Chains A and B, each alone.
Chain A
Amino acid sequence: MNWKLSLNIALTHLLTKKKQSIVAMLGVTFGISMFIIMISFMTGVNQFTEDLAMDNTPHVHIYKSIEIEDKKIVALDKPAGDSNWYVVKHQRPKNELSKIKNGLAVMERIENMPGVRGVAPQVSTQVFYNNGPVQIPGTVFGVDVKKQADLFDLDKKMDLGELNDLLKGSDVIIMGKGLAKKMGVTIGDRVSVTTPEGGNLNLKIVGIFSYGIAQLDQTQSYATLATVQKILQKDPSYVTDLNLKMKDVNAASALAKSLENQLPDVKIEDWETANQSILAGTQIRNIMTFVVCFTLLVVAGFGIYNIMNMNIINKMKDIAILKATGFQGADVTGIFMLQSVMIGIAGGFFGLIIGFFFSYLLSITPFPAGEFFRIDTFPVNFNPVHYFIGLFFGFLTTLFAGWFPSRKAAKVDPVQIIRG
């Protein structure tokens, strides 16, 4: 079949019926641009909520669980049928239970495992922030500042001050935005904290952070490992948590399983287990996004299908003449497929441009987020992959939509038309 000739005829058809061609094209343009806007925005929102949850969520969390073993110590060796054994009920945990044994050594070992991006050590303790006569309960985390920035982007959550200021002095902390507000303090002020063990320390605030999650911002503060170890009056090897980030998130649960075997005396939790509800939400939103986008493309496809069908009914006479003068079925199919593909490509291309334009507008539109959200404008995800998908599926739908009418055109019996 002669492509150049078919293309020539297809183009002539499109150009003589400009209005109709443009309407068909606009159908695709609308579908693709809506697809781009929808998917950019929806994935932007998904990304935003996921980041919100994931940024400070370790992929694998290793900690010493404050659960006691269910086995009753004294009952362990109880001979069957002997009623003179005593059983200790309501066993209490030992004092040093929250410490991970050889925490820093374990950390180094895990850090060298394949697929692990990094492990951040942490000492966490419940505290009361003393605000005059009122005590506000909360948590202080002692962290390795550099690792916390690298792995958990804490440096990017700073509203006031710098994360690195933690390294510049001793007895300094950074405080959640909500907590600082509750206490009426800001950078440069001092607060005193009390641990459950009765330890007390006066700390200087050198920064305010906010995650955008009220629950965290109203209770947490961060300090260096050494500072918190000092509050707790523990030695420098005292570590309560190891927070692990993977290179590939999806490898987390596999690693967690293997760690479980290697470290029997600590509790190991991967992010999927810890965040099941968030994951389910993301999944549902993703499914919805794709259903909506797919529907849009199908609607655009139907538009083309209808217009091509009408086009072919109008062109019956021409098809008959072409066939009478020696054009074959495949040539006729080619002519109409080319028309539909050209409509698809031109419409899809404009759709991408318009879609990008409106996504851009959306991305600079102020978002009324309230004071806790770390967000100023609508979250929009500009992912080139979406543009390729849009063009590809736009192209595919036009191929499908054009195929059936074009096949019909190829089957036109010229005699019936020419006979009149």
Chain B
Amino acid sequence: MATVLKAENIKKKFFQPTEFEVLKGLDFEVHEGEFFSIIGKSGCGKSTLLYILSTMDTDYDGTMHIKGEQLTGKTQNQLSKFRNEHLGFVFQFHFLLPEFTALKNVMLPALKLGKYSEKEIEHRAIEKLRLVGMDEFAHKHANRLSGGQQQRVAIARALVNDPAIIMGDEPTGNLDKANSMRVFDIFKQLAEENKQTIITVTHDHDFANGSDRIMEMEDGRILGIEPPTEPTPYIK
């Protein structure tokens, strides 16, 4: 299987309030079309790692390649463009633009990419919203939606440009069992049918057990990367 993401000796230090090494040299690879989950105790550095993988944080040691392209050392503008086209991101805390409707929130990254006409983008955005069960709220303003609804819109937004990799920082953190299962199914389907890669941080062990491989972290180190061993209610 082709490697889509390769991280080599990723190290990250914080200097505030005192010097503190959060990531202590991580090496791993993620394959194309893989459903890859990251677990670990709170504070072990999962989000920090994900920000680096998402190219938003450029202040780290080590190198990172996505789709064979070295992203370490690129300028912010190059990275923005890359993110826009190849990465979808679901944040730990649901982040939508409150002034815009759910639909517009989903459309914005696609409008920025400018690959399709506005009509087509709207059509695709509604399709993505339908995928997460939010199409009936398409014209509601983002700040009028519940936390869980916002998270689902954020997932739709992450999908709109058909990115190679979708990263999620606890994408089901605010969702009930039924909706978590729905998101899980969507991710599974994207990985299997569209060969899109899913990288998610999660505290939900059942969710992780449904993925292809689980990377467990502790204190900024990788404990191990193994396929799941336990059965999960997510897969019937």
Interface residues in chain A, defined as those with a beta carbon under 8 Å from any beta carbon in chain B: 2, 5, 8-9, 12-13, 16, 317-318, 320-331, 414-415, 418-420
Contacts and interface: CB of A to CB of B under 8 A. Distances in A.
Contact of A326 (B57, B95, B96, B109): B109
Interface in B42-66: 47, 51, 54, 56-57
B46 to A, nearest CB: 12
Interface residues of B, number: 30
B99 A16 contact: yes
Interface string B145-172: 0000000000001000100000000000
Across chains A and B, which 8 residue pairs bring their CB atoms closest together, nearest first? Answer: A326-B84, A16-B99, A328-B80, A325-B109, A415-B57, A326-B83, A328-B77, A5-B111
Interface string B77-104: 1001101110001010101111110001
Contacts of A420: 93
B97 A318 contact: yes
A5 B112 contact: yes
B232 interface: no
A414 B109 contact: no
B114 A2 contact: yes
A331 B104 CA distance: 17
B235 interface: no
Given A318-B98, A415-B57, 14 more contacts: A12-B104, A16-B99, A320-B95, A322-B97, A323-B80, A324-B91, A325-B109, A326-B84, A328-B76, A328-B77, A328-B81, A414-B56, A418-B51, A418-B93
Given A317-B95, A415-B56, A418-B91, A325 B112 contact: yes
B57 A324 contact: no
Nearest to B48: A419
Contacts of A12: 99-100, 104
Contacts of B99: 12-13, 16, 318
B225 interface: no
B111 A321 contact: no
22 contacts: A2-B111, A5-B112, A12-B100, A13-B99, A16-B99, A317-B95, A318-B97, A320-B95, A321-B97, A322-B97, A325-B84, A326-B80, A326-B85, A326-B112, A327-B84, A328-B77, A329-B77, A331-B112, A418-B51, A418-B91, A419-B51, A420-B93
A411 to B, nearest CB: 9
B2 interface: no
Contacts of B93: 418, 420
Contacts of A331: 112
Contacts, number: 71
Contacts of A327: 80, 84, 112
B113 interface: yes
B14 to A, nearest CB: 11
A418 B56 contact: yes
Contacts of B157: 325
A46 B78 CA distance: 58
B100 A324 contact: no
A8 B161 CA distance: 20
The secondary structure that dominates the A interface is helix
B203 to A, nearest CB: 17
B108 interface: yes
Nearest to A325: B109
A321 B153 CA distance: 14
B81 A326 contact: yes
- Indicate the member of A13, A326, A329 with the most B CB atoms within 10 Å: A326
Contacts of A326: 80-81, 83-85, 109, 112-113, 161
A320 B83 CA distance: 13
A331 B98 CA distance: 19
Contacts of B112: 2, 5, 325-327, 331
A326 B51 CA distance: 14
Contact of A324 (B81, B89, B161): B89
Nearest to B100: A12
A419 B83 CA distance: 18
B83 A325 contact: yes
B162 to A, nearest CB: 13
Nearest to A13: B99
Nearest to B87: A326
Contacts of A414: 56
B76 A324 contact: no
Given A324-B83, A419-B47, A329 B89 contact: no
Contacts of A324: 54, 56, 83, 89, 91, 95
Contacts of A321: 95-97
A418 B95 CA distance: 8
A13 B31 CA distance: 41
Nearest to A326: B84
A331 B95 CA distance: 19
Contacts of B108: 5, 9, 322, 325
A231 to B, nearest CB: 86
Contacts of B51: 415, 418-419
Contacts of B57: 415
Contacts of A325: 83-84, 89, 108-109, 112, 157
A202 to B, nearest CB: 89
Nearest to B89: A324
A16 B141 CA distance: 11
A330 B77 contact: yes
A321 B113 CA distance: 15
